[in-house]
């Protein structure tokens, strides 16, 4: 993403609203950069659980983050809520690259945008495995 123009809100297919918390602010008075990665993880996993049926506790397949990155454009501070948009940049046999946009305020401009790569693995063997049907179908609905 470095050097790229941020994507507009319309480039993202699904949104999760996340409430900022008092402790998200750092000494500079805005949400600390590490919190954005937690938002990425929350939005992607909520989507996989709610739309794809991922069973994070007992399912035979889990997803590991193997790569991530973020570009920051504007700051945000508690108590402003944010919306995290998801899109699929690449869908492989056992992996997906998510495009993620964080939006706040009412002007539709991004606060940050990043990417997040998941590799799906067999819980028992810890080896990559094809993305199961219901999960793949949910991911494909995001325009893979």
How much is the average pLDDT of 31-58? 96
Query: Looking at the 3D structure of the chain, how many domains does it have?
Result: 1
Tell me the whole-structure pTM to 2 decimals: 0.92
Residue 1 within a domain: no
How much is the average pLDDT of 30-48? 96
The predicted-structure confidence for 12-22, as pLDDT tens digits, reads as follows 999 999 999 99
Q: What is the CATH classification number for the domain harbouring 59?
A: 3.10.129.10
Task: Decide if pLDDT at 2 tops 50.
Answer: no
Residue 2 within a domain: no
What order of strands is seen across the sheet that includes strand 95-104? 14-18, 82-91, 95-104, 110-122, 61-72
How much is the average pLDDT of 21-34? 93
Domain that holds residue 65: 9-140
Residue 4 within a domain: no
The pLDDT, as a whole number, for residue 3 is 56
């Amino acid at each position: 993403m470095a050097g790229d123009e941020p994507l507009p809100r319309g480039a993202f297919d699904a949104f999760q609203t996340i409430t900022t918390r008092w402790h998200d602010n750092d000494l500079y008075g805005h949400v600390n950069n590490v919190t954005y990665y937690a938002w990425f993880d929350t939005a992607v996993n909520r989507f996989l659980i709610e739309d794809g049926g991922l069973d994070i506790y007992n399912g035979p397949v889990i997803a590991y983050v193997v790569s991530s990155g973020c570009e920051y454009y504007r700051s945000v501070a508690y108590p402003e809520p944010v919306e995290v948009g998801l899109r699929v940049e690449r869908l492989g046999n056992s992996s997906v690259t998510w495009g993620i946009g964080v939006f706040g305020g009412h002007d539709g401009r991004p606060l940050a945008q990043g990417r997040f790569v998941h590799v799906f693995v067999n819980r028992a063997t810890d080896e990559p495995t094809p993305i199961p049907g219901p999960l793949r179908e949910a991911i494909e609905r995001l325009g893979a």
